[in-house]
Amino acid sequence: MKRILVIDDNPDILNALDLLLSLHDYAVITASTVKDAVLAANNQQLDLIIQDMNFSQGTTSGAEGKELFYQLKQITPDTPIIIITAWSQLETAIELVKAGATDYLPKPWDDAKLLTIIANHIVSTKVGTEVGNMASTPVASNLIYQSDEMQQLMAMADKVAVADISVLISGANGSGKEKLADYIHQQSGRATQPFVKVNMGALPSELIEAELFGAEKGAFTGANTTRQGRFELANHGTIFLDEIGNLSLAGQMKLLRVLQTGQFERVGSSVTIQVDVRVISATNANLAQAIQAGDFREDLFYRLNVVELKLLPLTQRSADILLLAHHFIGDTYQLSQATQQALLAYPWPGNVRELENMCQRALVFSTEALLQPEHFFSDVIHHQIETEILDESTMLQTVLDRQQWIIARAASELGLSRQALYRRIEKYQLTPKGSE
């Protein structure tokens, strides 16, 4: 079991992270003071560290966290460190990323994103240990799939990864765009260089340009120091621009120039900066419509979209649903037959992220190892799913019996391919009349 040290002076945060990580089979060690953190690092075998930036009441400068970070790097230089910080301390967090921190997340953090970062970097550390100092060896991300649709997509991703070209990943929210981007980076020739992620939708529109390209001191209200942008931090590596459709037209023009020349200026500066960065972007929006509406530059679209990878919604790759569910609940728990049917019948509007959250809910509310539908769904949703299962399975059974289970005829009457009909037969465990 992997061991994670969590350092924060807030007991509520320690308890929340302890619960979250324990549910995902991590051994958690907590420390609420700098002294306890240093003691743990000196005496425990650690796989990862999560640390806050302030430990004294009323302190907000981040100086304590900065000092602790350098102490921890001296004690255990190869252990990944994730910084959790308030938005007001992002400058310090970015400085620490440049100094060797694995990543940082602003408070309040997103559980799914934190778990993904942890899983990726613990895997990276493990593989790095196994291969010694072979830093050029790419590390695969923890992608879970078995459907034909995902196998075809990943085969294309493998080819794209080594080509060092711009990639646009499209797909609905929660479908795994960030995880796919991370996979492409890890399989590329830039795998040992920074992988910098920017969620454009989480940033105020007036700050997006400063976040991407940096800003000089005094460039705008609140710019009290010169700030490096994400493109500078990603130099020689990969930058992932999520929700690219949120970028302003002025920002789009700057991004287009970076893609063409590798050059840009910080906000408030006339000094040109040169970088070598691969750009992977993602969107859940229809960029073609945005181009027609005049909200997105067509020339930028074609620069970003050298190759497009389309992540299908979870319901369109249903062969992955149970595999993902088993991965999220771990080996200790099992899914009842009724639960498997309910998971396959549910439409999953939130895709893989929603499935993971549902599995976390089930682990919290279950008192037994065999998970039932009510552990995942509210009574109302469970009743709706049961009704849908009954309606579709009854219709399929009726048509199959009428066609004497000649699959080609039944599929034609239902308007399905034979492969799709076979999947539904397996899903609802249908059998010919009299065979039971």
Cβ contact 277:258 at 8 Å: yes
**337 with 411, same domain?**
yes
On whether residue 322 sits in a domain, the answer given is yes
Q: Of 262, 283, 312, which closes a domain?
A: 312
Distance CA 2, CA 20 (A): 14
Q: What is the pLDDT of residue 88?
A: 53
Residue 242 has pLDDT above 90, yes or no: yes
On whether residue 390 sits in a domain, the answer given is yes
**258 with 120, same domain?**
no
Q: What is the pLDDT of residue 141?
A: 47
Decide: residue 285, CB within 10 A, 0-12 exposed, 13-18 middle, 19+ buried.
Answer: middle
The enclosing H or E element of 328 equals helix 321-329
**161 with 296, same domain?**
yes
Distance CA 250, CA 299 (A): 14
> 199 falls in which pLDDT band (50, 70, 90)?
confident
CATH number at residue 70: 3.40.50.2300
CATH number at residue 386: 1.10.8.60
On whether residue 287 sits in a domain, the answer given is yes
Residue 137 has pLDDT above 50, yes or no: no
Using alpha carbons, select from 199, 338, 359 the residue that is nearest to residue 281: 199
Q: What is the pLDDT of residue 125?
A: 47
What pTM did the predictor assign?
Answer: 0.58
**305 with 325, same domain?**
no
> 256 falls in which pLDDT band (50, 70, 90)?
very high
Q: Of 312, 334, 364, which closes a domain?
A: 312
Residue 170 has pLDDT above 90, yes or no: yes
On whether residue 435 sits in a domain, the answer given is no
**150 with 296, same domain?**
yes
Region at 171 (left for phi over 0; alpha for psi -120 to 50; beta for the rest): left
**12 with 128, same domain?**
yes
**219 with 151, same domain?**
yes
Q: What is the mean pLDDT of the chain?
A: 83
Residues 6+ apart with CB under 8 A from 65: 51, 52, 53, 54, 55, 83, 85, 89, 92
**259 with 219, same domain?**
yes
Residue 127 has pLDDT above 60, yes or no: no
> 107 falls in which pLDDT band (50, 70, 90)?
confident
**176 with 81, same domain?**
no
Decide: residue 133, CB within 10 A, 0-12 exposed, 13-18 middle, 19+ buried.
Answer: exposed
On whether residue 434 sits in a domain, the answer given is no
Q: Of 312, 333, 360, which closes a domain?
A: 312
**147 with 127, same domain?**
no
Q: What is the pLDDT of residue 104?
A: 78
CATH number at residue 211: 3.40.50.300
Give the model confidence (pLDDT) of 370-390 as tens digits.
Answer: 998 888 887 656 656 666 655
On whether residue 433 sits in a domain, the answer given is no
Chain position carrying tokens 């789009």: 252
Q: Beta partners for 371?
A: 335
Cβ contact 48:82 at 8 Å: yes
Give the model confidence (pLDDT) of 289-312 as tens digits.
Answer: 999 999 999 999 999 998 999 999
> 66 falls in which pLDDT band (50, 70, 90)?
confident
**95 with 66, same domain?**
yes
Residue 405 has pLDDT above 60, yes or no: yes
DSSP E strands in 226-339: the ranges are 238-242, 263-265, 272-274, 278-283, 307-310, 334-335
How many Cα atoms occupy the beta-carbon half-sphere of 27 within 13 Å?
7
Give the model confidence (pLDDT) of 86-99 as tens digits.
Answer: 755 667 777 777 67
**270 with 167, same domain?**
yes
Using alpha carbons, select from 240, 220, 111 the residue that is nearest to residue 168: 240
Q: What range defines the domain where residue 369 resides?
A: 317-428
When divided into structural domains, the chain yields a total of 3
On whether residue 386 sits in a domain, the answer given is yes
On whether residue 76 sits in a domain, the answer given is yes
